[in-house]
Amino acid sequence: MKLKFLLICVMLAALLSCSRGAGVSRRQPLNVLLITVDTLRYDRIGFLDPRHARTPHLDGLAARSLVFTRAFAHNPVTLPSHANILTGATPLHHGVSDNTGFRLDGKFMTIPQTLRAQGYSTAAFIGAFPLDSRFGLDRGFDLYDDDLGSRSENDFLFVERPAAKVIAPAMAWIREQPGKWFAWVHLFDPHHPYRPPSPFREEYAADPYSGEVAYLDSQLGVLFDFLRAQGRMERTLIILTSDHGEALGEKGEDTHSYFAYNNTIHVPLFIHIPGRKPETFAGNVCHADIFPTLCDVLKMPAPPSLQGESLLAVMAAGKRGSPEIYFESLTPWLNRDWAPLRGMISGDTKFIDLPIQEVYDLAGDMNEERNLAGSVPVGRLQSDLQRLMDRLRNQQAAGRQSRLDPDEQRRLESLGYISESRSGPRKKRYTEQDDLKTLLPLQTRMLIAVQDFQRGDLAAAEGKMRQVIAASPGFVQAYDHLAYMQQKRGQSAAAIGVLEQGLERNPGNILLLTRLGIILALNGGWQRAIPILEQCVSQEDFDPDKFHYLGIAYFQGGEIDKALGSYARALEIDPKNALLLSHVGGARLARFDRDGGAADLKLAEEHFLEALKIDPALLSAGNGLGIAYRRGNRLDEALAAWRRTLAVKPDFAPVLLNLGITLLEAGRAGEALEHLQKYRAANYSRLPVGERRRIDGLIAEARARQN
């Protein structure tokens, strides 16, 4: 009897040890699935607010999870928010505060690096360009699938792919994993512009944003059903959150990245821990808490750099160990030189530190309708915020450069792109006139100008953008947007003038310098483009576009070897850029023509083929492939390549001319005449006199041979 009792006690002890803490069995390690939904508002999940969208699959996950009803992002911007999640730290620590001009430094430990060191296979499946591998979030991943394609409607929209095309490769990868794995799935659908597919487009015609949310919920259903069918759902820790919300016109903000009200930084957060009962927690938590929570659940050592807290510990204590949560919105400061927005949440108090300060009591005012700054001790809140920032700040964080060193300044002065009598790049003191609330009409006018441009009202767009520049000379994005609009209208000289004006007022700004170098390179101004773009790549060596267009400028100047070197650097960063691959093919062809090396001809063909594999409609690659075949005396393959290109664009002038000349040389005068006449009909008026005579001579020769 005593032995039987002892055995029962041993069994009970074993069971208790398996279910202690997070309630997870130690017999089989958990997989980890991190789902981040870009731009998902807290109130668009039916479980949290049923008024807007039907989200049965998100609701089902929430019903099995720990649900945190007061979770906050530290930034209302995609790249910084994901850096916060993956490092378990704030932007004050890792230095990433905006989507552009920043790259996560390699010295900061991330979730995938930590899990891979514990034997996990790791993969990420990315929905949009702001998380492209060039920005540094790919470290620690065995696979970083950011294959988004190479085409966007225009520079004002991110390249993205819908949830179905993100989730499908994620499921394929998970299916092949024999051991424990970590997968990050990033879904971009709720981001502007809101274009849900059918039937959600029709069902949510009056609220397309909610339609996007309903669509992505349906695709999450596909993912969750797959995990169940694979027997993996109850062996997978699932963390779901959004990087930030969307203002949807509230507080005067249409989208996000401007203010930091709760419509953009209050986010959903669900954590499904197999074996642990669902629970709702109403205390304050934040994105930096996700990494330490994961370490706690998996019983892994936490990196010392983490600035968040384990949510299991927070729930057990009923409150945070360190009560303050830091947040910021620095995009307007970085790109316009408007007042920087920083703040903190502590208990029910939310403090926004701007020239016009704001204080809200979140206990009864989560919509931030009553500013209490006039009736509370704001000076104490400012001191508390400064102490918090001092504690979180890492002096070694590599942020965006805001000032040129003396050598860079002298070089740009010698190029004529900054004034010797320039003022400092940032104001030393910001007043109420610099407050984001005061300047909101300028932000709105810029966005309306972009909308005017997108619908074809170019004159209205340009007029509004010039008004913005006149009112705010430090508004760098306005110069950049206006120059882009003018470039698209074929007004390159005007675009260059706008950029030079912007650089006079914003000396050495990397965004404006890059745009200027690119426009010069695209319009034959390689002599001026080369030193500008060389300066740009020395300041930001993680942007493939800078290397790409520097290569174009070198190529125009006849420096083929330098062009290939610059293209190679761009390909290291962006290996699936079809246009870049086509330009490499063109440079290889040029070197073959110069040196006659067979290796260059072979490499030209390979790069053109790779470009067409990625983008079959890329005309320059189709034309280049035909030329490569022709150089190799592969006539039939050359003709076939050119004809495939004409199937995409029947009046594509370079191919019409190449076909006409090649067919004439091959003795097929009738076919040659047809293509040469099409070429002349489409291009004759634009040709210089000498080229007209040449084309007329070729057509006359084709007619003579035909007869």
Pull the structure tokens for residue 418.
Answer: 């900054």
- How confident is the prediction for the chain on average, in pLDDT? 92
Handedness of CA 31, 37, 42, 43 (dihedral sign): negative
pLDDT in tens, 584-625: 999 999 999 999 999 999 999 999 999 999 999 999 999 999
pLDDT score, position 150: 59
Give the homologous superfamily in CATH for domain 26-120+127-179+186-216+236-288+297-321.
Answer: Alkaline Phosphatase, subunit A (3.40.720.10)
d(Cα 64, Cα 61) in Å, to the nearest integer? 5
Cα separation values, 116 from 111, 166, 304, 680, Å: 9, 22, 17, 61
Run of H or E including 57: helix 56-63
- Residue type present at position 380: R
Domain ranges across the chain: 26-120+127-179+186-216+236-288+297-321, 435-498
pLDDT score, position 46: 95
% of residues, the chain, pLDDT over 90: 87
| pLDDT at 425 exceeding the cut of 70 | no
DSSP 324: E
Over range 299-308, report the average pLDDT.
96
Run of H or E including 352: strand 349-353
pLDDT score, position 611: 97
| pLDDT at 651 exceeding the cut of 50 | yes
| pLDDT at 409 exceeding the cut of 90 | no
pLDDT score, position 502: 96
DSSP 557: T
pLDDT in tens, 520-571: 999 999 999 999 999 999 999 999 999 999 999 999 999 999 999 999 999 9
**Do 26-120+127-179+186-216+236-288+297-321 and 435-498 have matching folds?**
no
| pLDDT at 413 exceeding the cut of 80 | no
d(Cα 140, Cα 196) in Å, to the nearest integer? 33
Over range 327-352, report the average pLDDT.
97
pLDDT in tens, 4-62: 433 333 333 333 333 334 444 446 899 999 999 999 999 999 999 999 999 999 999 99
Residue 398: count other Cβ atoms within 10 Å of its Cβ. 16
Confidence of residue 399 (pLDDT cuts 50, 70, 90): low
- The CATH architecture assigned to 435-498 reads Alpha Horseshoe (1.25)
What single string gives the DSSP state of each residue in 191-248?
SSS--PPTTHHHHTTT-HHHHHHHHHHHHHHHHHHHHHHTT-GGGEEEEEEES----T
